[in-house]
A and B are shown apart, each in its own frame.
Chain A
Amino acid sequence: MAKMTLAQLKALRDETKKDIDRRDTEGKDVMIVVGMGTCGIAAGAKDAISSFIDEIKEHDLTNVTIKQTGCMGLCHSEPTVDVKAPGMPDTIYGNVTAELAKEIIVKHVIGKELISKHVLDRPASDIMKEQN
């Protein structure tokens, strides 16, 4: 590394901060869990994850954790993604492509709006509420 100036130090910190913040789970209230069973991986779960990570960076979101889990038992709709965000019902999306991942970040996480046509499942309690 060459000798830095004040401005360069600031820039370096801003640039590296986002990456390292992802190691810290404290204070993160949005969780995105991607099904990574063999079926999910085959169906492109990795693309979905990359897309989530890029989009989170793009929008400077610091409160989102992305976790992966084994098969969620919904193999027909893999890759599946479970999104937990404050003020929103826990939602599972199916057939999540890289594009849909972007949309989930923009609409669901930031915009607080369900992307209805891709919703696979919602906790029974929410569906009940809706029917009343």
Chain B
Amino acid sequence: MAVKNFVLVCGGTACESTKGDEIFKALLKSATKHGIKDDVQIIKTGCFGFCEKGPIVKVLPEEEFYVEVTPEDAEDIIAETVVKGRTVERLAYKDASTKGSVSSEKIKFYQKQYRVVLRNCGLINPEDINEYIARDGYLALEKCLTGELTPDSVIEHLKVSGLRGRGGAGFPTWLKWNFSKNVTADQKYVVCNADEGDPGAYMDRSTCEGDPHSIIEAMAIAGFTCGADTGYIYIRAEYPLAIERLNIAIEQAKEAGLLGDNILGSDFSFNLEIRLGAGAFVCGEETALLASIEGKRGMPIPKPPFPAVKGLWGKPSIINNVETFANIPVILTKGGAWFKSIGTAGSPGTKVFALTGQIENSGLVEVPMGTTLRDIVFDIGGGIKNGRKFKAVQTGGPSGGVITEQFLDTPIDFDTLTSIGSMMGSGGMIVMSEDDCIVDVTKFYLEFCVEESCGKCSPCRIGTKKMHEILEKITSGKGEMDDIQKLKDIGKAMKTASLCGLGQTAANPVLSTLKYFEDEYLEHIQDGKCRAGSCKDLMQYKVVTEKCIGCTVCARKCPVNCIEGERKAPHFIVQEKCVKCGACYEACKFDAITIS
């Protein structure tokens, strides 16, 4: 009999590490046991974007959406939902506000999302090329080879679509392709940038894991358009699952005649190889990346010439980000105008964000450009964790800046983000609450840049280090008033004098937080106070005299014996000796110890 139900098990990295594979096997076993193996198709898919509540299992067509599933739950999913059509209540996703179980089409997390890039993620088995083909996969490539699309019309579609590079800078993709197409050369290349170095970002990883063929198809189309017969996917070695899925996909595409020589019997040939990166952030920069593929040290070189004209081994090379590529097959099957109708005038299409930090539902979200931050954080993300107050969102990673409450209703796209002092970046979005210290968060990004600076040019190498030192000083309570001006001056110098994007933008988090949260910096410097209570050196543990009954518990717990006071009389803490371990705070049963 034909298949009646589909059970989709998340096979993304987050869910795999929490037993996705065991669940998959347990489901198969239960289905066999109930004699319904042929009635149900159990499929391992890519990330559903809901990693926070993983592992995820979805049952179709019932649209049951099960969260935090364990291998032991497999039997109930099969016996109850698949055999009898009943919901397994204890696994069903519960809406945070109504507490009721909801099916997947009604989950708020998905309602405002619009999936173009992630169209196949969580729906198809990424290890089966047939499933990709069934979803109009390789249709765009087919059109190229039948003559329905020509290099010129591909460029035209991209131009009409208004697609801009998703790797950070937002450069118009059609222009890049056109440069490369118009150069005459004996050899050209197509490169996919899957380096994804932004802390907290994993959209590219998920796309490679969940829909690897979309990247392969797009790269072949790029080859067709500009006349390249070789492509490289540069991916960090820390992404083993993504690499495995890409390898499987490349193998399957070769076998099917969709990669290799004479694709689909035509005279177009395109070969694809994977190159592993060691995970240095600067290797995500295109010129450093190309150097790394060539086997040299991954260091940037000055532009121009741009890679589209003079790239890999000096040959014209199209280099695009994973998400940019993933958009292209759909643009070519549905048309540039269709894509243009999504998003904003200046930034058509959607953007995938990795939502993390102090947020209720962290995960991968794809929304049309122009969606407001309020929609993303409060509707899709379910608001701030534990009902705390929203402080800011950091976008653009170590090159970006903060977006504050006043901009919650700004429609976000490449241009609006730049105008409010942040940037799109690759799509990492870190949500901060009142419990996060803005200076401390900024210090984290600087620390990252100090580590990742390749050291080739001094404004970046020395500037990041200096800035980090100053921030360290401020968070440890030793800041001075002229530190703020110093930060601004160094930042400006780095912006203009650094060689590559890393150094040019490394000061952005500092400059942007200084702009919107200067008072918090000043509080650290002038009042020795950290309002979020996260800078340890600025904290003071104190006994509230009125509440202290003199039970002596704290004094006995203190590892450095710095709490003094008579039994049954209020105690006090000798601040000079206190090591801020918090033991007294934990120990006091009368809430008589406060942190300030």
Contacts and interface: CB of A to CB of B under 8 A. Distances in A.
Interface of A: 1-6, 9-10, 12-13, 16-17, 19-25, 34, 36-38, 41, 46, 49-50, 53-54, 57, 65-70
Contact of B6 (A5, A16, A22, A49): A22
B142 A10 contact: yes
A13 B3 contact: no
B257 interface: yes
Contacts of A50: 1-2, 4
Contacts of A69: 85-86
Interface of B: 1-6, 8, 39, 60-63, 83-86, 105, 123-124, 129-131, 133-139, 142, 145-146, 252, 255-258, 264-266
B85 A67 contact: yes
Contact of B131 (A3, A16, A36): A16
Nearest to A26: B105
B4 A2 contact: no
Given A46-B1, A67-B85, A9 B264 contact: yes
A16 B129 CA distance: 11
Contacts, number: 104
A25 B105 contact: yes
B1 A70 contact: no
Nearest to B43: A23
Residue of B5, B84, B123, B135 with highest tally of chain A CB at under 10 A: B84
B130 A16 contact: yes
B470 to A, nearest CB: 53
Nearest to B134: A16
Contact of A9 (B6, B60, B83, B142): B142
Nearest to B139: A13
Nearest to B124: A20
B134 A13 contact: yes
A38 B85 CA distance: 10
A19 B84 CA distance: 22
B257 A3 contact: yes
A5 B264 contact: yes
B130 A12 contact: yes
B556 to A, nearest CB: 60
12 contacts: A5-B257, A5-B264, A6-B142, A6-B266, A9-B256, A16-B130, A20-B135, A25-B60, A46-B4, A53-B2, A54-B2, A68-B84
Given A49-B4, A68-B85, A3 B133 contact: no
B257 A4 contact: yes
A67 B61 contact: yes
B84 A53 contact: no
B39 to A, nearest CB: 7
A13 B133 contact: yes
B259 to A, nearest CB: 10
Contact of B133 (A2, A12, A23, A65): A12
Contact of A25 (B3, B63, B137, B138): B63
B252 A66 contact: no
10 A-B pairs with the lowest CB-CB distances in the bound complex, closest first: A3-B257, A68-B85, A16-B134, A50-B1, A53-B2, A20-B134, A36-B85, A69-B85, A70-B86, A65-B61
B138 to A, nearest CB: 6
A53 B131 contact: no
Contacts of A4: 256-258, 264
Contacts of B62: 67-68
B45 to A, nearest CB: 10
Contacts of A5: 257, 264-265
Given A20-B135, A21-B134, A46-B4, 5 more contacts: A1-B252, A13-B138, A67-B62, A69-B85, A70-B84
Nearest to B253: A1
Contacts of B84: 36-38, 41, 68, 70
Contacts of B134: 13, 16-17, 19-21
A57 B258 CA distance: 28
B61 A25 contact: yes
B138 A66 contact: no
Contacts of B85: 34, 36, 67-70
Contact of A6 (B8, B136, B145): B145
A19 B3 contact: yes
B256 A46 contact: no
Contacts of B86: 69-70
Nearest to B119: A24
B585 to A, nearest CB: 52
A68 B81 CA distance: 9
B282 to A, nearest CB: 40
Contacts of A12: 130, 133
A16 B85 CA distance: 26
Contacts of B139: 13
Contacts of A21: 134
Nearest to A54: B2
A20 B3 CA distance: 11
Contacts of B129: 1
A49 B62 CA distance: 14
A60 to B, nearest CB: 14
Contact of B83 (A22, A24, A41, A67): A41
A17 B138 CA distance: 13
Contacts of B142: 6, 9-10
